[in-house]
Amino acid sequence: MLDVLILGAGPAGLFAADRLAARGYSVAVVDQMPSPARKFLMAGRGGLNLTHSEDLSAFLSRYREAEDFLAPLVREFPPQALRDWCHDLGQETFVGSSGRIFPTVMKASPLLRSLLRRLEKNGVELRARQRFTGFSKDGLPAIEPENGRHYTLPAKTIMLAMGGASWPKLGSDAGWVPALEEHGIEVNRFQPSNCGFQVAWSPFLRDRFAGSPLKRIALKLGENIVQGEALISEKGLEGGAVYALSAEIRETINTTGIAELRIDLRPSTSVEELTRKLSRPRGKQSFATFLKKTLKLHPVEQALVREAGPFPEDQSTLARLIKSVPVTCTAPYPIDRAISSAGGIALDELNDGLMLKKLPGVFAAGEMLDWEAPTGGYLLQACFAMGYRAANGIVEYLKSTKEGQAE
* 106, pLDDT greater than 80: yes
Last residue of a domain, one of 310, 332, 354: 332
171 and 232 assigned to the same domain: no
What is the domain count for the chain?
A: 2
Give pLDDT, residue 43. Answer: 85
Would you say residue 406 lies in a domain? no
CATH assignment of the domain containing 391:
3.50.50.60
Last residue of a domain, one of 301, 332, 363: 332
178 and 205 assigned to the same domain: no
Tell me: the pLDDT tens digits for 112-154? 999 999 999 999 999 999 999 999 988 899 999 988 889 999 9
For the chain, give me the number of helices (H) and strands (E)? Answer: 15, 19
133 and 21 assigned to the same domain: yes
Tell me: the pLDDT tens digits for 70-93? 999 999 999 999 999 999 999 999
How many C-beta atoms surround the C-beta of residue 215 within 10 A?
A: 14
- Any idea how long the chain is? 407
292 and 349 assigned to the same domain: no
Give pLDDT, residue 303. Answer: 97
The domain in which residue 125 lies consists of 2-192+340-400
Given pLDDT bands bounded at 50, 70 and 90, which one contains residue 45?
confident
Tell me: the pLDDT tens digits for 286-299? 999 999 999 999 99
28 and 168 assigned to the same domain: yes
- Give residue 71's identity as a one-letter amino acid code: A
* pLDDT, average across residues 233-238: 97
167 and 215 assigned to the same domain: no
98 and 186 assigned to the same domain: yes
54 and 146 assigned to the same domain: yes
* pLDDT, average across residues 12-30: 98
Distance CA 339, CA 327 (A): 22
* pLDDT, average across residues 151-178: 96
Structure pTM? 0.93
Percent of the chain exceeding pLDDT 70 equals: 99
126 and 240 assigned to the same domain: no
* pLDDT, average across residues 25-50: 93
pLDDT, averaged across the chain? 96
* 407, pLDDT greater than 80: no
210 and 87 assigned to the same domain: no
Give pLDDT, residue 197. Answer: 98
Residue 159's alpha-carbon distances to 77, 81, 177, 316, 341, in angstroms, are 19, 22, 15, 60, 20
* pLDDT, average across residues 179-189: 97
Distance CA 23, CA 298 (A): 59
Q: Which of 204, 81, 159 is nearest to 364 (CA)?
A: 159
* 46, pLDDT greater than 80: no
Using only C-alpha atoms, the chain has a radius of gyration, in whole angstroms, of 25
* pLDDT, average across residues 214-223: 97
* pLDDT, average across residues 292-308: 96
Which residues fall within 8 angstroms of residue 314, CB to CB, at 6 or more apart? none
Give pLDDT, residue 404. Answer: 47
Between 61-70, 249-258, 277-286, 378-387, the lowest mean confidence (pLDDT) is in: 277-286
* pLDDT, average across residues 11-33: 98
Would you say residue 407 lies in a domain? no
179 and 46 assigned to the same domain: yes
* pLDDT, average across residues 4-9: 98
* 234, pLDDT greater than 60: yes
Last residue of a domain, one of 332, 355, 382: 332
